[in-house]
Structures are given as structure tokens and as C-alpha cells.
Amino acid sequence: MTDPEYNNTLDQAIKTAFLDRDGVLNEKMQEGNYVTCWAEFRLLQGVAEAIRRLNRAGVRVIVVSNQRGIALGLYTAADVEAIHSSLQKVLQTQGAQIDDFFFCPHDKGQCNCRKPMPGLFEQAIVKYPEITADSSIMIGDSLSDVEFGQRLGIKTVFVDNGSAYHQKPGSSAARQLANRCAASLSEAVDWMLQKPTLA
């Protein structure tokens, strides 16, 4: 519920923020490596505050992530759910909350839910039928995140943390295709809450 004392300058234009996980909420592992358990999860600075600001602005926050490591046998779906449960507890101690998590457990080419395919969005709208593409935004740090948003007609923000060591191939294309680039989730939220629309 929107905090009546919070100045929501979005004017309800954006009602749902879809967030990638690794590289947006937590430190991304070197390409080819995966966060397999909570002990390896490092929440990025400013993330809890950014999510809290979205909560107070009445914006639904949904995490959508590819978790190919499940298909590779490096961890299980239950491990991912345990990470998300622990993350939620940490966020709640700081007055923030993620409304839901959706993740793809499949390998490349095996499904309709691995971003940039639309399956995770489709899962979300089954549970939250009020979600629409034109009232949503996708914030991610990879080309697949930007393409996911574009295919669905969702505005996109590419989180460009400037670390080529941890960025996936395609970052240059993502910068060009995204509606906006930001150095962090916090910066993306700053921009969102200053804009009456995302046109």
C-alpha cells in the first residue's frame, strides 16, 4: 500500500518494477560462476533503500531471474528459494519487501521462461492479472533483460556498473537498446521517482 506521506511523483504511471537479481540486487559472480547459497550472496549497497522507496511509492516489486545453475546441477530450486527467503528477511529488517520472485530453472533453449523469452512475465500476470506492460518497467544488467522488456513492450533500464569483469557479453548492445542506463538500482529508482512518466 502506498505511504500517504510519500511523494509519489510517478503519478501511478509505473505500477510494477521487474528486477533482475544477480548484478542488480547482489554482486554478480564472474561469468560462468553462480551464487549457489546464501553465504555467497552479497547484497549491493543501497538496494534495500531503493526497494523501500519503491514500496512506499506503491510500486509492486517483482524479481525475475534466470537460474541456469539449477539445470547444470550446481544447486536446486529449493536452494534458490532459501536464498530468496533469507534476502526477504534482511530487507524486512530495513523496512523493504520484494512482492514476489519468479525464476527460470532451465538451460538455454529448453523453455519459454528463460529471459529474454516472456514466460516469467506470463507467470507474473497469472498471479497478478492487474499487471500490464505499459505500467511496468524492467531493470536489469544484461542484454537478455533489456530484450525481455522490449519484446513485451516494457520500458527498460540497463544497470551498467562499469565492471566488464562481471558483465555478460552484449552489454554494449544493451546500453544502446535500453530506454535508460543507470549505475545502480538506486540510481534507476532516483530517475523513476523524478519522472511523472517513462516516455
Catalytic residue IDs? 20, 22
- On whether the CB atoms of residues 135 and 154 are closer than 8 A, the answer is no
Which among 178, 180, 199 has a CA at the least distance from the CA of 190?
180
CA torsion 160-164-170-173 (nearest 10°) is 50
Residue from 138, 178, 184, 176 nearest 27 by CA? 184
